Amino acid sequence: MERLNEGISLFDITESLSLRTDKILLSLISLHNEEVNTFIKEFNLYNQIQKYIFQSIPYQNGFDISGKVYLDRMVFYITIKTDFDSGFGVKPDNYEIRIFNLKMSQIKRLARDIRNEFSYVKNINIEEYKENENVNQFLIESFNKNDGNSFIKYLELGADNLDELMELAENKNNLNIIKTLVEYGASNFNDIFIKASENNHFDIANYMIICGSNINESFITACGLGYENSVNNILNYMKSSINLNSGFVEACKRNKINIVKLLLECEPITCIRNSGLVIACEYNNIDCVKYLLDVDADDEESLLKACKNNNKDIVDLLLKYEIKDLNSFCLFLCIDEGYTDIVKLLVLKNDYSIIDLNKALDKAFKNHNTDIFKILIDRGSNKIPDNFDKILNSMHETRSQEIMSIINSKFST
């Protein structure tokens, strides 16, 4: 009979279940509440889960498994037997696993982890124990009443609205409650770090870092939310842990002008204006586009993004700030998409070569777009389009007549 030590983690469980089904390892979990009634309920729940584990292991290669659970002096024992033969005539010993002091909430998380890890048990449901359908609401009420005993009681009974309670505790700057919730499985560290930074709750912010909050991810999120105080605090105390330009781009994406201004004032060199301009155009944030143009952002790709979005107002704004369609990509794109109003703006504000205008005319003609065809002829295109007769014959009669009228007007002597 092999007795396993107490240093087994949930990682060991998942590794063992997936790699060696003849050895099932379960985590050793501590229980703070030693009330007999609660403990017996946990024992019943645990019976349910261990039965689920045994039934979920697939039969393979002569492998069979059975288990027995008993309770002795607040310790669970599981005996696992197998007749598995390794192929060399060697059979493993039985295994006895001791499980000390289980917490209700941790058992439930164990069950969810196992269910999520293994494809062959994903369709099996576990009926999770719940003392009361309103246990989550009771947890909130006990928090609002500052009733510590009831608060722990409902955590033990399996309340799972821990992330919501974390936000409530942060609003009241209650670090002790937050520590308790983390112990019971709350994990929204980034969100709480951002809120704590915004509210100047530095003890909570520091604790979230200890718990594993990703400072850079939190900084980027705070920039996107427009949390100016949070961004300032991170800049003041943790600048070395963040990517400033990523936060700047996120603020441009979310049209948070206050953060865009703040970052450019603090870090004018690190923040890449052109990257922000491109992303602001992509997300149709005209206010941010205007501000960035005023601080000398200049990138041809921004014009392409605005053209792709058929955003006439942003295209017009960029052209007024002399952002040029240097390779005629924007013109050709808008002709293909049929964006007539933007084509009109582009040909008025760009000095396209006659070669590019004639290429554009061919595109408009092939697309049967008489409005754009006329714009290009008026702007200076001076050729009869390629495959003129063939394409003209494929047009609707009304459009072919319009094209002929434009051609005759242009080239008549």
Out of 121, 136, 159, a domain closes at 121
Give pLDDT, residue 167: 96
Residues 387, 400: Cα–Cα separation, whole Å: 14
Q: Identify which of 390, 124, 237, 266 has the alpha carbon closest to the alpha carbon of residue 247.
A: 266
Phi, psi of 72 (to 5 degrees): -145, 110
Give pLDDT, residue 385: 66
Strands 95-100 and 2-3, by their bridges, are parallel
For the stretch 178-189, pLDDT in tens is 999 998 888 899
Give pLDDT, residue 185: 83
Out of 67, 93, 121, a domain closes at 121
Give pLDDT, residue 48: 53
Give pLDDT, residue 409: 65
Helix intervals (H) in 75-174: 104-117, 135-144, 148-156, 162-171
Give pLDDT, residue 246: 94
For residue 246, what are the CA distances in angstroms to 9, 218, 250, 339? 36, 11, 6, 32
Give pLDDT, residue 367: 82
The answer to whether residue 232 is domain-embedded is no
The answer to whether residue 259 is domain-embedded is no
The answer to whether residue 104 is domain-embedded is yes
The count of C-alpha atoms lying within 13 angstroms of the C-alpha of 411, restricted to the half-sphere facing its C-beta, is 13
The answer to whether residue 283 is domain-embedded is no
The answer to whether residue 216 is domain-embedded is no
Torsion of CA 171, 177, 178, 184, to 10 degrees: -140
Residue 66: give the domain boundaries.
Answer: 2-121
Three-class DSSP category at 361: helix
Question: Looking at the 3D structure of the chain, how many domains does it have?
Answer: 2
Give pLDDT, residue 131: 44
Out of 103, 121, 139, a domain closes at 121
Give pLDDT, residue 10: 34
Residues of the chain with pLDDT under 70: 1-133, 382-413
The answer to whether residue 174 is domain-embedded is no
Residues 99, 101: Cα–Cα separation, whole Å: 7
Residues 26, 97: Cα–Cα separation, whole Å: 8
Q: Which helix (H) or strand (E) holds 230?
A: helix 228-238
